Every structure is written in C-alpha cells, then in structure tokens.
Amino acid sequence: MAHFTKATSVKDWLNQRLAVEKVEKVMMSEYWIPKNINFLWAMGMVLVITFTLLLVSGIFLLMYYQPNVNLAFDSVNYTIMREVDFGWLWRHVHGVAASVVFLIIYIHMFTGIYYGSYKKGRELIWISGMLLFVAFSAEAFSGYMLPWGQMSYWAGMVITNLFSGGSLHADGLVEWIRGDYVPAQAFLNRFFMLHVLLVPLAIMGLIGLHFGALRIPHVNNQDGEEIDFDVESKKYLAGDKAGSKVMRFANDFMSKDMMVVGIYLIFFFYLVFFHYDFAMDPVNFDPADGLKTPAHIYPEWYFLWSYEILRPFSTNVGLIAFAFAQVIFVLLPFLDRSPNTVPASRRGLFRIWFWAMLIDMIVLTSMGKVPPSGIFSTIGLYAALTFIGLWIALPFITKMEKKV
C-alpha cells in the first residue's frame, strides 16, 4: 500500500489520492499542440460543447417526455412547449443542436481529409471518428422517432424497411427490429431506450477512444510537418515560448478554442431563437398516422447524401450502393495509398479528388430532398455514380502521387 502523509492542503490531500497535479499536466498544461494550426482545429471543442448542450437539454426534456404512442406527440408539443417553463427553450436547443452537430461533424471530417489527418499513425483517430459519426447517426435517427409525428412514423417505416435487404425479403429481421409488423408501441419504446441510454453510452465511450487515439500521434498541423514534440516542448518549458513549435493545450490552445466557441455560440443561439425551422420539419408537427402517407418523405438534411445514393437505382443495386456509402469513409486511411501527409493543395490529383467529393456530396444532398423525377433524378443518378467512381479511383490516383 502506498504511503500517505498528513495532508498540508486540500490540493495535497487530493494529490496523494488522485495525483491531480499529474492529471492536470497530462491532460492540460503539458498536452502539447502544434502552433501551426488554424481555427478548423477548434471544431473538436465546438463538438464537445454542442454534445454537452444536447446532453443537458436532453436531460430536461426527458423529465417530461412520455414514450407512449398515445401521449408522445402531445407530451412534446403541448406539455413541453406550452406547460413547462422554458420547455420550448430546451426543445429548440435540442432540435437545433442535433442538426448543427452534423454540420460541425462534416466540417471536422473534411478538415481531416484535406490535411491528411488520417495517415501515418492517425488511422485510429479517423476510424474512431467515423464510428462516432455512425453513433451520432443512430442517435439522430432514434431521437427523430420520439415526437411520434408523421415524419417520425414514416421515416421509421422506410429506414427499418431497408433491413429487409431487397430481394432477400428478410421481413423477419424487419419485424424483429420493429417488435411489430409496423412501427408501434414496441418500436417507440426501444428507440426511446436506444436514444436515451445505449447510443449515448456508446458515444461517450467512443469519444474517450477518439481522444485516446489522438494522444500518441498528436494533433496534425497545417503543413503536415513532423514535429519532435519532446524537443519542442523542452524549448517551451525552458522559456522560449515564441521559438517553440508547440504550445500547451491549456491555456494556450484552449483560449483559441474558446474564441471559436464564442463565435460559434452566437451563430448557434441565433438559430435557436430566430431561425429554428430548418431543424424542425413542419411535416413532423402532424401526429403519426399510419393510414396517411405524407406527399414527400425525406430524411433530415444530414442524411440526404446517402439517401440519394440509395434512391436512383433499382432496389437491390440501390441497397448495395447505400451499404457502400455507409462504410467507405471508414476505409479512407487504407484506400489512400500516398505516402504524403500534407494538405490536399500540395497533392496533385488528390486536390481535385477532394473538391470533387465535397461538391458531389452537396449535389447529392440537394437532390436527396427534391422529388425524384425529371432532371433531378438524372442529376441524382450521375452524382451517385460519381461518388462511387471517386472512391474506386482513390487508390489509383494516390498510388501515382509523387513523394513531396
């Protein structure tokens, strides 16, 4: 057993038992971050803040929400929106944050792709990040079921139907997922459980893994420069703060994180109070009705690109393309065969690949919402084929890339 002495202060008492000073050093003051980075590196902190907003607002909503097909709709739209003091605020914070969190995730992802932050020891950061994307998608989808409006019901119907596997006709699997032949009480209850317990647990675990995976390879920088963190941190600690290539996570980088968070929160709360409609589809303000299909069924904006990869093809081909789109991003570190860890702007063909992928995903997103007819379905088809083609081309164009 360790030897304990009489504590000289509260800090000392804690230090002997929890090594708080050491923890503070490892996590904050001697966690070294390269200086050569821009505000896009603050998206991680922005995501932490947004996730916290989701968690806190969710806890308040959970106190009044009723996971019952007869009560769910009014517990949200009447009890929370009209009866509970500031219930409307928590709901709008929760709804807007659920949408904005995906915008930030996409910015975070494309930052990683642009700067090659998934290469040379950083593969696990990327993979855990993509697993987080999957977990957040599950969280968003299960949460969307809870108000039990028309879009909840019909999105639940359409998405669970995907598991029948087209010609495989795995209808038993669909019934097993729903707990019934159609979305009903069993369905609502299990998605409630997923949304408030199982998926948030998975998300918190994955966030731990994501941070852990960052520890040894360190954060990437704007030029993909390999930094000797031992040498540079010694320089910093010796007093040459300006000459060192690294800085402390706290307070040095944290102060910049907070600056970006401050600006982000202005944008976020503007949306919450004055422009929340985009995150709360009007169709979902009609109560679920299994006998009345809405004229247009579409997912929330952040799922539209993968929905559009499913839509232009026949059932079986569409499902295969959809499955491809779901997993392919995870494989990025292995499909990129180039030895260079530098920004896309210095990587020849990969530079074109990056911007083509970004624009193609925006085209897919746009076409995923409009009715699939005429010119829209043609554009959607070509955009989906382009998406698949770009991924097939990736190993070849990166293999040809010259070492810089």
Partner 1 sequence: MKNKEPLILVVVVLFSLLTYYLVEPFAHSQMHKHHESEGFEYKDLPALTKKGDATKGQELVMGAAACVGCHSIEKAGVPAAMEPQDAAASYGVNPPDLSNAGAVYSARFLADLIKNPAHALMVEHKFDASKGQMHPMVPFYGAGGDIDQEVADIVAYLQSIAPKAEDLTPAMAFETACGRCHAVHYENWTQIGEKPKFKYKKDELAFDIKVLEYQKSLTKYMGKLPPDLSIYIRSRGEHFIKTFVENPQQYLKGTAMPRVGVNAESADKVLEYLEDSGDLKRHERESVGKNVMIYIVIFAIFALLWKKQVWKELH
Positions in the binding site for partner 1 (CB under 8 A): 35, 38-40, 77-78, 81-82, 86, 88-89, 92, 103, 107, 222, 241-242, 247, 251-252, 255-256, 258-259, 261-263, 265-266, 269-270, 272-274, 278, 280, 282-283, 285-286, 295-296, 301, 304, 358, 362, 365-366, 369-371, 376
What sign has the CA pseudo-torsion 210, 211, 217, 221? positive
Q: How far is the CB of 14 from partner 1 (least distance, A)?
A: 26
Q: How far apart are CA 287 and CA 283, in angstroms?
A: 9
Q: Which is nearer to partner 1, 13 or 39 (CB)?
A: 39
Q: Which is nearer to partner 1, 48 or 261 (CB)?
A: 261
Residues 6+ apart with CB under 8 A from 12: none
DSSP 244: -
Q: Which is nearer to partner 1, 172 or 374 (CB)?
A: 374
Q: Which is nearer to partner 1, 178 or 232 (CB)?
A: 232
Question: In which element (H, E) is residue 32 found?
Answer: strand 32-34
Q: How far is the CB of 129 from partner 1 (least distance, A)?
A: 18
Q: Can you spell out the DSSP letters for 77-103?
A: IIIIIIISTTHHHHHHHHHHHHHHHHH
Closest CA relative to residue 356, chosen from 371, 367, 344: 344
Q: Which is nearer to partner 1, 269 or 334 (CB)?
A: 269
The answer to whether the CB of 73 falls within 8 A of the CB of 148 is yes
**Residue 106 tokens, joined:** 């996409």
**Residue 186 tokens, joined:** 């069993």
Q: How far is the CB of 392 from partner 1 (least distance, A)?
A: 25
Q: Which is nearer to partner 1, 99 or 189 (CB)?
A: 99
Q: How far is the CB of 11 from partner 1 (least distance, A)?
A: 24
Question: In which element (H, E) is residue 376 found?
Answer: helix 374-399
Q: How far is the CB of 347 from partner 1 (least distance, A)?
A: 17
Q: Which is nearer to partner 1, 176 or 270 (CB)?
A: 270
Q: How far is the CB of 225 from partner 1 (least distance, A)?
A: 11
Q: How far is the CB of 355 from partner 1 (least distance, A)?
A: 10
The answer to whether the CB of 275 falls within 8 A of the CB of 281 is no
Helices (H), 117-198: 123-145, 150-161, 171-178, 185-193
Q: Which is nearer to partner 1, 251 or 316 (CB)?
A: 251
The answer to whether the CB of 324 falls within 8 A of the CB of 394 is no
The residues that bridge with 287 in the sheet, in sequence order, are 149
Q: How far is the CB of 81 from partner 1 (least distance, A)?
A: 7
Q: How far apart are CA 144 and CA 142, in angstroms?
A: 5
